Amino acid sequence: MTTEDLKEIAAQLKTPTGENGIEMGKSMNETNIGMTMSAIESITIQKNHSLLELGHGNGGHVKHILEKAANVRYTGLEISEEMKNQAKKLNRLYTPDNIAIFELYDGLKIPFDNNSFDHVLSVNTIYFWEDARLLLNEISRVLKPSGTFCLVFADKSFMLKLPFTQFGFQLYDIDKFKKLISISNFEIRNITNKEDQVMSKAGDLVIRKYYTITLGKLGQ
């Protein structure tokens, strides 16, 4: 691949747009479904719970969340208008009654009141956070005191093998992540190390090492 090809992949992974963005959304859903299901399984979703997801992509997994318990409410935030629209289309059975809501945000400020959600989750978005400390504090603000935040991301050692990650990706190993959390309003409750085999966006079959991490508010 040329440098321009790699830059285009990186840009579409961050903010899918246009027809290429729609295809990228499908690819991301297929490639990341194992990581996404790991996040869903790591939190205890009960009747009447509300859940916020940052960076939901095309939303092909949302039904798995809503099927976990009765009267679960889902809210998704995206920086990509294309992904917001695709998620609304794929989840049109849930949108009329606001069982699932999809909105845009700027990647920094979360447009909801304090203590709004029982759970927050985000999969493979940390690489693109413009201000990680600010966003973590925003997540803490909208999370209920007893709530759970689940974050899933691939380890730096794996991400460095992907040629497009040199263009605009912030990569993390577990030590760097722990340092970030140490200056936030969160504390780590559990870290699970996992591996899967996936086809990379560059067309290679690779072993991916990733973390499923659950966090809670400090002192809760």
Are the C-beta atoms of residues 212 and 155 closer than 8 Å to each other? no
Q: Which domain holds residue 142?
A: 3-217
- Rounded (10°) angle between helices 18-42 and 81-90: 70
Residue spans of the chain under pLDDT 50: none
Torsion on CA atoms 146, 40, 9, 181, rounded to nearest 10: 30
**Whole-number Å distance between alpha carbons of 169 and 166:** 6
How many angstroms separate the Cα of 202 from the Cα of each of 4, 6, 176? 13, 8, 26
Q: What angle do CA 148, 179, 166 make, to 5 degrees?
A: 100
What pLDDT sits at residue 1? 81
The number of folded domains in the chain is 1
Over residues 77-91, the pLDDT tens digits come to 999 999 999 999 999
Domain harbouring 144, CATH code: 3.40.50.150
The pLDDT of residue 201:
59
The confidence score (pLDDT) of residue 72 equals: 97
Distance CA 27, CA 184 (A): 32
pLDDT for res 202: 61
pLDDT of the residue at 199: 73
- Counting Cα atoms < 13 Å in the Cβ hemisphere of 193 gives 5
**For the whole model, what pTM was predicted?**
0.94
